[in-house]
């Protein structure tokens, strides 16, 4: 098996990132138009954008992405980390891409001191849950949301 390399996203990753993020949207039945892709890409490259990204590579090809953010943790005086989006090219699934991305993000989080790395997934995304159950603790928290913009 080829080793998975993980690194921060770079400007030269845009074509691969756009393909993967668009496919991620399709997976979750969302159609990301070019304006949405442009917006997120700008956030990822802007140090003040509030969202960062890692990419995973196999044989020099970007096959996975992870978007994350961090903020002060009110319980530990450390940082909380939130994995917003994680996607692996279907052709690379089973190669450890998702695990490698989570491991690298965990390293970043641990290097900052106390806190927690969290993420959510769809209840029916059983393949992802099998990975997550190996690398993290499933919690009993229930997620709620309020949409703040009218859907058109």
Q: Read off the pLDDT of each residue in 119-136 and give the average, rounded to a whole number.
A: 93
pLDDT of res. 88: 97
- The two three-digit tokens of residue 114, written as one number: 């106390």
Task: Give the Cα separation of 110 and 100 in Å (integer).
Answer: 15
Mean pLDDT comparison of 5-19, 63-77, 106-120, highest-scoring range: 5-19
Strand partners, 80: 71, 116
Give start and end residues of each alpha helix (H) in 28-125: 34-45, 97-111
The CATH class for the domain spanning 9-135 reads alpha beta
pLDDT over threshold 90, residue 149 = no
DSSP 3: P
Backbone angles phi, psi at 130, to 5 degrees: -65, -40
pLDDT over threshold 60, residue 126 = yes
Q: Read off the pLDDT of each residue in 53-77 and give the average, rounded to a whole number.
A: 94
pLDDT over threshold 80, residue 1 = no
pLDDT of res. 150: 72
CA 152 from chain center: how many Å?
27
- The two three-digit tokens of residue 31, written as one number: 């159609």
Q: Between 92 and 151, where is the model more confident?
A: 92
pLDDT of res. 113: 84
């Amino acid at each position: 098996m080829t080793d998975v390399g993980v690194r921060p996203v770079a400007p030269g990753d845009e074509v691969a990132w756009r393909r993967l993020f668009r496919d991620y949207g399709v997976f979750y039945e969302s159609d990301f138009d070019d304006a949405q892709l442009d917006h997120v890409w700008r956030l990822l490259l802007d140090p003040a954008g509030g969202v960062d990204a890692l990419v995973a590579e196999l044989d020099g090809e970007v096959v996975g992405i992870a978007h994350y953010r961090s903020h002060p943790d009110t319980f530990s005086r450390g940082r909380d980390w939130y994995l917003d989006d994680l996607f692996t090219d279907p052709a690379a699934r089973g190669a450890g891409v998702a695990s490698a991305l989570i491991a690298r993000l965990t390293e970043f989080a641990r290097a900052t001191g106390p806190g927690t790395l969290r993420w959510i997934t769809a209840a029916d995304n059983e393949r992802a849950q099998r990975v997550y159950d190996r690398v993290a603790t499933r919690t009993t928290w229930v997620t709620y949301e309020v949409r703040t913009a009218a859907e058109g």
